[in-house]
């Protein structure tokens, strides 16, 4: 991502409605996995650490990140070592540690070789461990927001399942989320395309009341996390394992 995008993400990730809603949804997903007490959790591509406190409620957390500035912020803000690493070729935990849960939250879409990257993450799973992914949905929705954030692609459910299977993993559960706001956000992005606006990130803080309302709407989707999500949505999640 662009340098100023990394910095704005650090500032926004605590309070912005999208980050708050995604954390609530992901936390409900993790709750549904039945992880062992004291579960070992790895976050791949942790950024500046916005998910770490949420993940710490579920177990002992390790992380790595490709960007030096973001990794330093992760360590400074959350007191957790965050070594530098990239996927697929420089995963600092591959062959060195095994985890009950590996999460990659909106990471895979940034990487050229997604299959090899998933193989690297699978090599970090303990027996019976689970891999949890979230990615942006629908290639037809690719927009200036994706360009600014250096997204290589967006996924369909079938496409993501195919990539995960090619990496030798078994899909346990997959579905869409961020569904309730789908019509409004699609309208905004397609409108920007029609009007040929300059590429811009959607990650801007709205007013306090709007931000709180959006966070509540998105966060309410956590109630369906155990049931497999929605038939459509702006994002996809997938839970996989080696068996």
Q: What average pLDDT is seen over the chain?
A: 90
pLDDT for position 187: 83
Distance between start and end Cα atoms, the chain = 34
Contacts of 216 (CB under 8 A, 6+ apart): none
Is it the case that residue 20 has pLDDT exceeding 80?
Answer: yes
The SS3 of residue 191 is: helix
Lookup: tokens for 17:
């409605």
Residue whose structure tokens are 């996989």: 240
Class of domain 3-241: alpha beta
Per-residue pLDDT tens digits for 173-192:
999 999 998 988 888 777 76
C-alpha distances (whole Å) from 138 to each of 109, 122, 205, 234 are 12, 25, 24, 7
φ/ψ (deg, to 5) at 121: -70, -35
* Pairing of β 60-64 and β 125-136: unpaired
pLDDT band of 12, cuts 50, 70, 90: confident
- 62 in Cβ contact with 41 (< 8 Å): yes
SS3 content of the chain, % helix, strand, coil (to 5): 45, 20, 35
Give the start-end residues of each E strand in 52-112: 60-64, 99-105
The alpha carbon dihedral of 133, 171, 168, 159 has a sign of negative
The candidate with the shortest Cα–Cα distance to 221, out of 23, 62, 53, is: 23
Window from 124-128, 213-217, 225-229 with minimum mean pLDDT: 225-229
pLDDT band of 39, cuts 50, 70, 90: very high
Per-residue pLDDT tens digits for 133-185:
999 999 999 988 788 888 999 999 999 999 999 999 999 999 999 999 898 88
Is it the case that residue 32 has pLDDT exceeding 90?
Answer: yes
pLDDT band of 201, cuts 50, 70, 90: low
- Percent over 90 (pLDDT), the chain: 68
- Got the DSSP string for 151-170? ----B-HHHHHHHHHHTTPE
Residue whose structure tokens are 């409605």: 17
pLDDT for position 195: 61
pLDDT band of 203, cuts 50, 70, 90: low
Is it the case that residue 204 has pLDDT exceeding 80?
Answer: no
């Amino acid at each position: 991502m662009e340098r100023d995008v990394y910095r704005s993400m650090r500032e926004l990730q605590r309070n912005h409605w999208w980050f708050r809603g995604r954390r609530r949804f992901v936390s409900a997903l993790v709750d549904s996995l039945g992880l062992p007490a004291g579960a070992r959790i790895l976050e791949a591509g942790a950024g500046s650490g916005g998910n770490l406190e949420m993940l710490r409620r579920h177990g002992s957390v390790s992380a790595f990140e490709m960007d030096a500035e973001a990794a330093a912020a992760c360590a400074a803000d959350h007191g957790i070592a965050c070594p530098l690493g990239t996927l697929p070729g420089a995963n600092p935990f591959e062959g060195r540690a095994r985890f009950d849960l590996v999460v990659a939250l909106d990471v895979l879409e940034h990487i050229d070789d997604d299959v090899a990257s998933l193989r690297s993450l699978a090599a970090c799973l303990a027996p019976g461990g689970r891999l949890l992914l979230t990615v942006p949905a629908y290639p037809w929705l690719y927009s200036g927001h994706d360009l600014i954030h250096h997204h290589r692609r967006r996924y369909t459910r079938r496409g993501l399942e195919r990539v995960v299977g090619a990496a030798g993993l078994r899909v346990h559960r997959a579905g869409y989320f961020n569904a309730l706001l789908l019509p409004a956000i699609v309208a905004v992005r397609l409108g920007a395309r029609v009007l040929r606006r300059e590429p811009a990130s959607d990650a801007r803080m709205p007013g306090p009341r709007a931000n709180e309302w959006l966070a509540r709407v998105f966060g309410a989707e956590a109630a369906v996390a155990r049931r497999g999500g929605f038939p459509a949505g702006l994002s996809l999640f997938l839970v996989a394992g080696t068996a």
